Amino acid sequence: MSLRFVLDPELTPELREQIVALWVDVSNAGGAVGFVPPVTAERVRATAEPMFVDVSDGPDRLLVGYAGERLVAVLIFSDNRFDLKAHWCVLKRVMVHPDTQGRGYGAALMREAERVGRELGWEALHVTLRDGLGLDRFYRGLGYREIGRLPRALRVGPGDDRDEILMWLDLTDRAAA
């Protein structure tokens, strides 16, 4: 089944709860989207609510993907809030429901983000990720390259520090040169 994508959907109370529920399930399955399991809906909601405000009343954009009627994929286009960086965008909260991972939905979500990015005139997309989960392979397969690391920047548990990997997708003609 291919995903149906919606950019900037109306953030109804129902959609907000669906996003929180997705985020909880992804986090509790070990996904690297800001939390270490176990996490409750209450904790995720506390992080999600300001994010929703930045979308509904601020410069960020929300992309959601549906398999049939079910919300299964989400990402945020996070505005840099800095004129000198207005020509590129940061992707955050990239996630696919654990029940539906491994079916190509993550790749489809990122391809749609790339399409939107080009349409909006951005020259690059940037994403940061937690080392140790193989996620760099996912992004590399989509054309992103590693541009640096913050060493041991993420303390996911006692004695378990992970690098934060910075990845970049050039959307200009320079990328082909």
Ligand X SMILES: CC(C)(COP(=O)(O)OP(=O)(O)OC[C@H]1O[C@@H](n2cnc3c(N)ncnc32)[C@H](O)[C@@H]1OP(=O)(O)O)[C@@H](O)C(=O)NCCC(=O)NCCS
**Piece in contact with ligand X (CB under 6 A), picked from 47-55, 57-65, 105-113, 145-153:** 105-113
Q: Residues 94, 124, 169, 171: which binds ligand X (CB under 6 A)?
A: 94
CB of 83 to ligand X, least distance (A): 26
**Piece in contact with ligand X (CB under 6 A), picked from 13-21, 29-37, 43-51, 78-86:** 29-37
Residues 6+ apart with CB under 8 A from 73: 3, 64, 65, 95, 96, 97, 105, 106, 108, 109
Determine the angle formed by the axes of helices 41-56 and 13-28, rounding to 10 degrees.
Answer: 130
Q: Does 66 bind ligand X (CB under 6 A)?
A: no
Q: Residues 138, 161, 164, 168: which binds ligand X (CB under 6 A)?
A: 138
Cis peptide bond upstream of 38, omega within 30: yes
Using CB under 6 A as the binding rule, the residues of this chain from 152 to 171 that contact ligand X are none
Residue type, 70: R
